[in-house]
Amino acid sequence: MKKFKLFVSVLLFVVFSCKKNNLANIDFTSWQTYAGTKEGNRYSANQQINLKNVNNLKVVWTYSTHDKDTGNRSQNQCNPIVVNGVLYGTSPKLKLFALDAATGIQKWLFDPANEAGNKNNDPLAYYKVCRGVTYWEDHSGENKRIFYSVGSKTYAIDAETGNPLKDFGKDGFIDLSEDLGRKTNSFVSGTTPGIIYKDLLIIGDRVAESEDAAPGHIRAYNTLSGKLVWIFHTIPHPGEIGYDTWPDSTAYKRLGGANNWAGMSLDEKRGIVYIPLGSLGGDFYGGNRKGANLYANSLVALDASTGKYIWHFQTVHHDLWDRDLPANPNLVTINHNGKMIDAVAQISKHGFIFMFDRTNGKPIFPIVEIPVPTNALPGEYPWETQPHPTLPEPFARQHFGLEDVTDINPEVHKEMLEKYNKVKYNTMFTPPSKDGDWIFPGFDGGGEWGGAAVDPESKIMYISNSEMPWAQVMIDVPKGNENDNTPFGRGQAIYYKYCLACHGPNLMGNGTSYPSLVNLSKKYNSQQANAIIENGKNMMPAFKQIPPNEREALLSFLLKVPTDKASNNIAKEPVSNNKPDANQIPYAMNGYNRFLDKNGYPGIKPPWGTLDAINLTTGKLIWKVPLGEYPELTKKGIPITGTELYGGPLVTKGGLIFIAATKDEKIRSFNKNTGKQVWEAPLPAAGYATPATYSIGGKQFVVIACGGGKIGSKSGDSYVCFGL
């Protein structure tokens, strides 16, 4: 009897604790949404796989649609979901599939290329990024839908049959380039899945990063009809909160960006959605966007039913360094000064964690405004201060000085010192200049889209962290030969406007991330090159906003020959004069340049990639371990360095962290308490994605998408599932 009373007491304590921490209604054993739950914590209560038996993990099944790009540029960043024993995911070519999650046997496959209106489209159009899908069912459980994005189209697919639901939106999809409040021909695409609140699909998008970017407004659509229900203007319109912070009253009419490309999180009980936003279009020069630039670079809390503003916090004012908020925030309940607080924690590219009370946006730990340099390019007006959290402690190094240059061997050290001294390093928020600056943590973090995992019991956050410096050097935007109004001459000017930042002034590109366009005619004819410009490919956005006659001129310049007659029926309009557009910015960055040595290794002292643990209650960094390995360096006696990382961790009740994300094509598991590695397995291609875990019939599985394709890695098209 005493044992029974004790059992009841323990049970009541557990139930009370779950309610107190808002965990009572969360299913932590499946993986029903992107990032595991709507709280975005990448946590699982599964513990069949644990510290005692993790070494017994074996491959249970693999699955592939065999559609990787043979040129090794396709990717697959999908974090699949599992609902009622069915796994839903996407392929490199954006095919949507459903599998028996226990066996990997395919139930159905939806190929967007076979849809009406798409059949004659260029096949390269489907090599795009999709980080996951969204599941919804009605109260009866009879209507079950998968929402997922293929470029600008977000489809509604019957979850049981794989058939598109033609009564949704426009013939089975909504077009994210529409319903923006103004017409735009600029690039708009869905990359990270939206989130479901009741019968609403709340969704963001990826837009261009140039000054002609589409607006990045947040929208909610009815899950049955596809009708637009509400819109939140991330660049405020007249009469809206924040509009009066803009010196230019017409900014909302001409500027774009401030978009949610990285996902969002939902407090379902309160009906509050938390949305991290990116930078304004025109990443590195803001003379045409004076002011703090609300709501760019802000964490915004909205009423999920109506889209009404609740609170916001801007993490970077007047961003000139591409400091988008890169991942969905994490919702957690902590004991702060003796009081239980429902908090939201937002990681950043520059290695900070911003924490707030979920209900009112009040910082959990003080955030101070630090004065920063304001000497800038002509016409630029940098903000005088930037926010700096006093806690939690930064998870990435915050300084890159001479003493930090790699000393992997004397020859490389000398080489990289010379390279370092060609660019001046000042502080994290030194305005862009022609002298240049080292951006550290780099443009890809610090933290990135893989996001953070949080254990709701221990309140510990786990983050994959890259520590790669990038050079930011500004140049005058070349105008081309003003006397050359031929297609070739005009094409050069168009290239400088749209392509310079990624491919450089001489078309040389930068390594594997930004390919060289020199001798492009040996790889593509004009029809093929035009298709890529129009549709985009992999991480390259589409440039539909380039008028047909200007696109033909651009092709003439890129291919170094007059465009042939097979150029997709481009309109034969007169080539416009060679004067720059009125809104064209005068400066551009001279390419995205990582600080790499001649062997391709980062030019900073290791570690180059780490897995970090931070206690969100105290704000203290608990441990940090290198993540990833270059075996050839280890054989030379160099301690494990870590690699640049793309993908996030998941944490389990079984005491484990699972993460791939590394260039060395492995998945690993770590002791979540100590950071000690306890297991690893090879993958067929790098797992630049976040793994998922789930349980079926008492058996736990861990699955990862192996897409590769980034930073020189070979592309893959398989999912690998592990179990005991």
Q: Mean per-residue pLDDT for 482-489?
A: 64
pTM of the model: 0.91
Which one-letter DSSP state was computed for residue 520?
G
Q: Mean per-residue pLDDT for 608-630?
A: 98
Please return the burial class of 371, using the count of CB atoms within 10 Å of its CB with bins 0-12, 13-18 and 19+.
exposed
pLDDT digits (tens, 9 = 90+) for 176-215: 999 998 888 889 999 999 999 999 999 999 999 988 899 9
Distance CA 243, CA 232 (A): 13
pLDDT digits (tens, 9 = 90+) for 444-462: 999 999 999 999 999 999 9
Kindly give the interhelix angle for 548-559 and 487-498, rounded to the nearest 10 degrees: 100
Contact 6, 253 (CB under 8 A): no
Query: What pLDDT, on the 0 to 100 scale, is given for residue 552?
Result: 84
Element (H, E) at 134: strand 134-137
**Above 70 in pLDDT, residue 94?**
yes
What are the backbone angles phi and psi of residue 488, rounded to the nearest 5°? -65, -45
Query: What pLDDT, on the 0 to 100 scale, is given for residue 466?
Result: 97
pLDDT digits (tens, 9 = 90+) for 151-173: 999 999 999 999 999 999 999 99
Q: Mean per-residue pLDDT for 560-579?
A: 44
Residue whose token pair is 């929208």: 219
Query: Please, what sign has the CA dihedral across residues 483, 488, 494, 495?
Result: negative
pLDDT digits (tens, 9 = 90+) for 225-251: 999 999 999 999 999 999 999 999 999
The residues pairing with 274 across neighbouring beta strands, listed in sequence order, are: 265, 301
Element (H, E) at 557: helix 548-559
User: Among 376, 333, 335, which residue's Cα sits nearest to residue 358?
Assistant: 333
What are the backbone angles phi and psi of residue 8, rounded to the nearest 5°? -65, -40
What are the backbone angles phi and psi of residue 541, rounded to the nearest 5°? -75, 165
Contact 658, 464 (CB under 8 A): no
Distance CA 593, CA 609 (A): 18
**Above 50 in pLDDT, residue 568?**
no
Listed by start position, the domains of the chain span 19-473+596-723, 478-579
Contact 100, 85 (CB under 8 A): yes
Residue 631's SS3 state is helix
Buried b / exposed e across 498-536, counting CB within 10 Å, b at 16+?
bbbbbbbeebebbeebbbebeebeeebbbbebbbbbbbb
User: Among 537, 613, 596, 723, which residue's Cα sits nearest to residue 48?
Assistant: 723
Distance CA 658, CA 463 (A): 11
Q: Which residues contact 120 (CB under 8 A, 6 or more apart)?
A: none
Q: How many residues does the chain have?
A: 724
Query: What pLDDT, on the 0 to 100 scale, is given for residue 395?
Result: 98
Query: What pLDDT, on the 0 to 100 scale, is given for residue 26?
Result: 55
Distance CA 311, CA 324 (A): 18
Query: What is the topology classification, in CATH, of domain 19-473+596-723?
Result: Methanol Dehydrogenase; Chain A (2.140.10)
* Chain-centre distance for alpha carbon 574: 40
Distance CA 382, CA 249 (A): 19
Tokens of 276: 């991290």
- The radius of gyration of the chain from alpha carbons, rounded to an integer in Å, stands at 25
pLDDT digits (tens, 9 = 90+) for 288-299: 999 999 999 999
* Chain-centre distance for alpha carbon 35: 13
Query: What pLDDT, on the 0 to 100 scale, is given for residue 471?
Result: 95
Which one-letter DSSP state was computed for residue 528?
H
**CATH code linked to domain 478-579:** 1.10.760.10
Distance CA 49, CA 650 (A): 13
For residue 245, CA distances in Å to 58, 278, 639 come to 56, 18, 50
Instruction: For the chain, give the percent of residues with pLDDT over 70.
Output: 90
**Above 60 in pLDDT, residue 302?**
yes
User: Among 252, 152, 260, which residue's Cα sits nearest to residue 203?
Assistant: 260
Please return the burial class of 393, using the count of CB atoms within 10 Å of its CB with bins 0-12, 13-18 and 19+.
middle
The residues pairing with 476 across neighbouring beta strands, listed in sequence order, are: 587
What amino acid occupies position 460? I
Query: What pLDDT, on the 0 to 100 scale, is given for residue 503?
Result: 85
Place 121 in a pLDDT band, splitting at 50, 70 and 90.
low
Query: What pLDDT, on the 0 to 100 scale, is given for residue 188?
Result: 94
Q: Mean per-residue pLDDT for 24-46?
A: 86
User: Among 700, 705, 723, which residue's Cα sits nearest to residue 715?
Assistant: 705
* CA angle (242, 246, 249) in 5-degree steps: 110
Give 251-304 as a DSSP string: HHHH--B----S--EEETTTTEEEEE--PBSSTT--TTS-SS-TTTTEEEEEET
Query: What pLDDT, on the 0 to 100 scale, is given for residue 543?
Result: 83
Query: What pLDDT, on the 0 to 100 scale, is given for residue 117?
Result: 74
pLDDT digits (tens, 9 = 90+) for 372-416: 999 999 999 999 999 999 999 999 999 999 999 999 999 999 999
Tokens of 105: 């046997």
Contact 39, 331 (CB under 8 A): yes
The residues pairing with 442 across neighbouring beta strands, listed in sequence order, are: 445
Please return the burial class of 7, using the count of CB atoms within 10 Å of its CB with bins 0-12, 13-18 and 19+.
exposed
**Above 80 in pLDDT, residue 573?**
no
pLDDT digits (tens, 9 = 90+) for 105-120: 999 999 999 987 776 5
Place 591 in a pLDDT band, splitting at 50, 70 and 90.
confident
Distance CA 498, CA 185 (A): 14
Place 716 in a pLDDT band, splitting at 50, 70 and 90.
very high
Total Cβ atoms within 10 A of residue 479:
15
Query: What pLDDT, on the 0 to 100 scale, is given for residue 585?
Result: 84
Contact 190, 203 (CB under 8 A): yes
